[in-house]
Amino acid sequence: KKGNFEHFMQKEIHEQPDSLTMTMRGRLIRGEQRVKGVLLGGLKDHLRTIRRSRRIIFIGCGTSYNAALASRPIIEELSGVPVTMEIASDLIDRQGPIYREDTAIFVSQSGETADTLQALEYARANGALCVGITNTVGSAIARGTHCGVHINAGCEIGVASTKAYTSQIAVIIMLALALGDDSISSQRRREAIIDDCFNLPSKVRDVLKLDQDMKELAMLLMEEQSLLVFGRGYNYATALECALKVKEVSLMHSEGILAGEMKHGPLALVDETLPIIVIATRDGSSSKQQSVIQQLKARKGRLIVMCTEGDAQSMCPDGTCRVIEVPQVQDCLQPIINIVPLQLLAYHLTVLRGFNVDQPRNLAKSVTTQ
């Protein structure tokens, strides 16, 4: 059932305008007569409890963890509740403290990941409100949580998670909008985000047109040993997720790095041979990314810059970087746009290097053992 596509991963990347539409269907309320808002059926009776909780803890593994990380800033901004992040296995290893006043949000495409499930049992035993964000109705995590949201992205077959990632981010942003619903001061901001949610499928369709460019970039990079990806703010998660995709399917070493940490170690790696992707789309931290680009160039770094359409000149004035230009959306939604060309890059790298796209070496779609 791959249709016109050669691989499920490719099909699922290209499906994202539709999967995002399905994720948001019936949940976003348009403006006009009624005030713009969000309706998450599975959470409406629990929003007050979540708003009043002392802390929100996101728990997941791999790509699902990255999706939560991408949406953490907007949850903090619109809810005012402190948010912490936990990789499920690490929470269990530490037996980290969880309290009755906490809301623990479990993010999992399959809803069956053993580590996440064990963390759920642990959080429930400690009395936290347990919320699920899953793609699989009837899954263990959907059943074991007190409430939650199905992402409705449709069945994902490729081991590399792609459309589930963008739908998970969309759901967590809708959750942030719902949690902020009682605040008048953030109303304009919320309306602007909702407007852009409606634009998202068509913007994703636009960015999918970079397919050929990403194939050409993959041809340039296919013989490399390693690829670094620098991001910060909303797009720190984009850097981690790009690196995870590249390593898991194309079997090339790749590392996502928080750009603010550059001088604390990674800068030592920079030379004229190692390729580095810098995510520098327009937002509150893009001027800092501009200076990161300058510092990497001063060390002769081999740069591939992802920036907002029209910003190529200002981000790379001497024209020596390879540039990926993407359409702009509200800052919190930008990670959904930015990851798409990077998913395509990982896909093409894998095909060109001759590896199995849908069944990467040593990996399983659902990790049900620890």
Closest CA to 363 of 71, 127, 96, 113: 113
The yes or no reply on residue 148 touching ligand UD1 (CB under 6 A) is yes
367 binding partner (options ligand M6R, ligand UD1, none; Cβ < 5 to 8 Å by kind)? ligand M6R
134 binding partner (options ligand UD1, ligand M6R, none; Cβ < 5 to 8 Å by kind)? ligand UD1
Binding window for ligand M6R (CB under 6 A); candidates: 108-116, 207-215, 221-229, 292-300: 108-116
The yes or no reply on residue 367 touching ligand M6R (CB under 6 A) is yes
For the chain, report the end-to-end CA distance as a whole number of angstroms.
Answer: 31
Contacts (Cβ under 8 Å, ≥6 apart) of 200: 20, 24, 170, 329, 333, 336, 337
Nearer to ligand M6R, 108 or 285 (CB): 108
The yes or no reply on residue 140 touching ligand UD1 (CB under 6 A) is no
**Member of 20, 40, 57, 61 binding ligand M6R (CB under 6 A):** 61
Helices (H), 81-233: 88-94, 114-125, 140-144, 163-179, 187-208, 211-221
- The tokens describing 75, both together, are 């949850």
116 binding partner (options ligand UD1, ligand M6R, none; Cβ < 5 to 8 Å by kind)? ligand M6R
- Whether 177 and 78 have beta carbons less than 8 Å apart is answered as yes
Residues 64-93 that bind ligand M6R (CB under 6 A): 64
- Whether 105 and 88 have beta carbons less than 8 Å apart is answered as no
How far apart are the C-alpha atoms of 159 and 60, rounded to whole Å? 16
**Member of 38, 107, 142, 262 binding ligand UD1 (CB under 6 A):** 142
The yes or no reply on residue 228 touching ligand UD1 (CB under 6 A) is no
**Member of 161, 238, 285, 290 binding ligand M6R (CB under 6 A):** 161
Binding window for ligand UD1 (CB under 6 A); candidates: 68-76, 83-91, 141-149, 343-351: 141-149
The yes or no reply on residue 154 touching ligand UD1 (CB under 6 A) is no
How far apart are the C-alpha atoms of 133 and 148, rounded to whole Å? 6
The yes or no reply on residue 137 touching ligand UD1 (CB under 6 A) is yes
**Member of 86, 248, 283, 331 binding ligand M6R (CB under 6 A):** 248
How far apart are the C-alpha atoms of 204 and 344, rounded to whole Å? 12
How far apart are the C-alpha atoms of 332 and 75, rounded to whole Å? 10
149 binding partner (options ligand M6R, ligand UD1, none; Cβ < 5 to 8 Å by kind)? ligand UD1
**DSSP letters of 15-65?**
THHHHHHHHHTTTEE-STTSPPEE--TTTTTTHHHHHH-SEEEEEE-HHHH
Nearer to ligand UD1, 64 or 186 (CB): 64
The H or E element spanning position 343 is: helix 334-353
The footprint of ligand UD1 (CB under 6 A) covers 41-42, 132, 134, 137, 141-142, 145, 147-150
